[in-house]
Structure 1
Amino acid sequence: MTREIYVVAHKFRPDAQQSAAMMADQLESHGFTVRKSGPVGDAEMVVVLGGDGTILSAAELTRGTEIPIVGINYGHVGFLAEVEPEGLPRVVEQITERQWTLDRRMTIDIEVMLPDGSRATSWTLNEAALDKHGQPMIEVSLGVDGRGVSSFACDSVLMATPTGSTAYTFSAGGPVVWPDVEAMLLVPVAAHALFTRPLVVGPNSELQVVLDSDGAKLVCDGRRELPVAAGSIISARKSDYPVYLARLNDTPFSGRLVKKFDLPVRGFRDRGRP
């Protein structure tokens, strides 16, 4: 049976495009069928050459499937990527030999109930960001499981996954959550109130944000915008559809965190190891 690989490359990075063409040639020489457009179909893996934004676009293609994504970093931090460009030849070998493990990443379903009773829905792998748009601030009320928690004015409110905890919410001062923890984060940004701490809730909870003013926009993963207006209720729940990342090495999340953010660990002593 012919094995299929779907390849996605950053549209505006010539080096990523060139590497994608080279990788396609190598895969085809190993008997693979390589596809670069259309639905993912029966592909056994999606290979992404780009940054985290390109990986997020690939997650749209695999939504609702168990097809894993492996990222080769042609971006900046590339937190979701598995290897740097120089590791590309080894990636071809590992794909050919099926040498990878699956990393299951939780996603969140987002629903907006507008004042006229209509509804709009989307989902997010990183975060849903309710940002000010054309106004100095937005007014919001926050709730968890149908009970009010706090109200204030702010620049933004972020509803995020553990995967998203190293993205926008990280810049906003939210906690870093290990990706195998099933939880949702609610992080206010530049809020004018006493109780504005980030919240972390379990996978069976529901987050709500009521937009009490106009002048806001709601964007999921920086890609999918939903309509909002004063009086809208935004809800976030754990989704039934995770995203699967292919892991090509056994580096723990702590190691990835240190490497991607270049964290200083000089004083650390790993007891029990030589």
Structure 2
Amino acid sequence: MNIVLHGINLQKEFLPYIEQLIGILSSHGIRTFFTENFTKSIKKLQVPARSFEILGPEMGMGEMDFVLSVGGDGTLLDTVIQVGRQQTPIVGINTGRMGFLATVAKENIQNAIRNLVEGEFALESRSLVTLEASRPVFNGMNFGLNEFTIHKRDTSSMIILHTYIDGQYLNSYWADGLIVATPTGSTGYSLSCGGPLITPGARNFVITPVSPHNLNVRPIVVPDESVISFKIEGRSEKFLISLDSRSTAIDASVELKLKKADFSARLVKFLGYNYFDTLRQKLNWGFDMRN
């Protein structure tokens, strides 16, 4: 079995868990690879890396059986970009805070690896959003797991986002920005702006305005077969577009079209995982907040 580890800016307090993970993989005879970012991080932490190889031209992502994302949800979003069309299954080991996506607690690493080796897991397919632009953006990595966002950049004035669904006019949003979230991303930025929660298997996007001028403008759920396009107006010459945690500046002349990607992210879920349990725990549902 080939497994690659990916992590970004690993913190010193998680050093014992990283050492444990590397030791467990070695004890199972798993051929272990590190991404370049993970290699840089463990060198800074001075981790005794035992036997490992750096992922490169000779053994690429396509030859990996699994990717272990070591970090928080942000690290897992970056892991999805690293995997891309290879669709290598991703295991999220949570050393962060929320753990909506990275659902394996650091205390359960040993059980997770054993279940992985024994095949006691399920694969959950998560839809991705992909961006088509009239000029190159995001170095060709024009897809994301959570959301696509258009936002004002360097002015206090609102922007106007003329939005179309399959070429048909939807609305002109006078707002600070606009979010198009996947079901996975519905628990993120979109939720904080008043968007609804969508279960991972739903075939929808949600369009959520950021601080709209008109209070009667509300989020709308559309089928993920839709092609969503935009025309941007504003006093600023530049606007900010984002895919998950990656951002770049564009001007209003750039044409933008958004649709569902023709490939997906595959997340490993172990026995006992339940999406609704995660929602209740992370959002503190059922707790009396008055105490």
TM-score normalised over the length of structure 2? 0.83
2:94 to 33, 54, 73: 73
Mean CA deviation greater in 194-203 or 14-23: 14-23
Q: Structure 1, residues 120-160: CA drift from partner, whole Å, max 9, x if none? A: 46111100111111111222111111111111321110111
Bigger helix share: 2
> For this pair of structures, how many residues does the alignment match?
259
Distance (Å, rounded) in 2 between the aligned partners of 1:143 and 1:192: 19
Q: In the TM superposition, what is the alpha-carbon distance from 1:259 to its structure 2 partner?
A: 1.3
Is the CA contact 2:2–2:33 (under 8 Å) kept in the aligned structure 1? yes
Residue 11 of structure 1 aligns to which amino acid in structure 2? Answer: N
Mean CA deviation greater in 89-98 or 166-175: 89-98
Q: In the TM superposition, what is the alpha-carbon distance from 1:262 to its structure 2 partner?
A: 1.7
Is the CA contact 1:9–1:20 (under 8 Å) kept in the aligned structure 2? no
Q: 1:17 to 1:132 in 2, by over 3 A?
A: farther
Residue 148 of structure 2 aligns to which amino acid in structure 1? Answer: A
Percent of pairs with identical residues: 27
| In the alignment, structure 1 residue 182 sits paired with structure 2 residue 203 | yes
Q: Counterpart of 1:158 in 2: which secondary structure?
A: strand
Q: Counterpart of 1:64 in 2: which secondary structure?
A: helix
Give 5+ residue unaligned stretches, structure 1.
267-274
Residue 270 of structure 2 aligns to which amino acid in structure 1? Answer: L
Match of 1:211?
Answer: 232
Where does structure 1 differ by over 3 angstroms across 4 or more consecutive aligned residues?
15-18, 118-121
Distance (Å, rounded) in 2 between the aligned partners of 1:152 and 1:72: 38
Q: 1:17 to 1:41 in 2, by over 3 A?
A: farther
Please give the residue correspondences for 1:130-209 in structure 2 after superposition, counting only pairs within 5 Å. 130-136=150-156, 137-193=158-214, 195-209=216-230
Mean CA deviation greater in 197-206 or 13-22: 13-22
Alignment root-mean-square deviation, CA: 1.8
Distance (Å, rounded) in 1 between the aligned partners of 2:15 and 2:78: 16
Give 5+ residue unaligned stretches, structure 2.
36-54
Is the CA contact 2:4–2:32 (under 8 Å) kept in the aligned structure 1? yes
Is the CA contact 1:74–1:84 (under 8 Å) kept in the aligned structure 2? yes
Q: Counterpart of 1:106 in 2: which secondary structure?
A: strand
Q: In the TM superposition, what is the alpha-carbon distance from 1:226 to its structure 2 partner?
A: 4.3
Residue 21 of structure 1 aligns to which amino acid in structure 2? Answer: E
Match of 2:243?
Answer: 220
Distance (Å, rounded) in 2 between the aligned partners of 1:18 and 1:5: 20
TM-score normalised over the length of structure 1? 0.88
1:83 to 95, 104, 115: 104
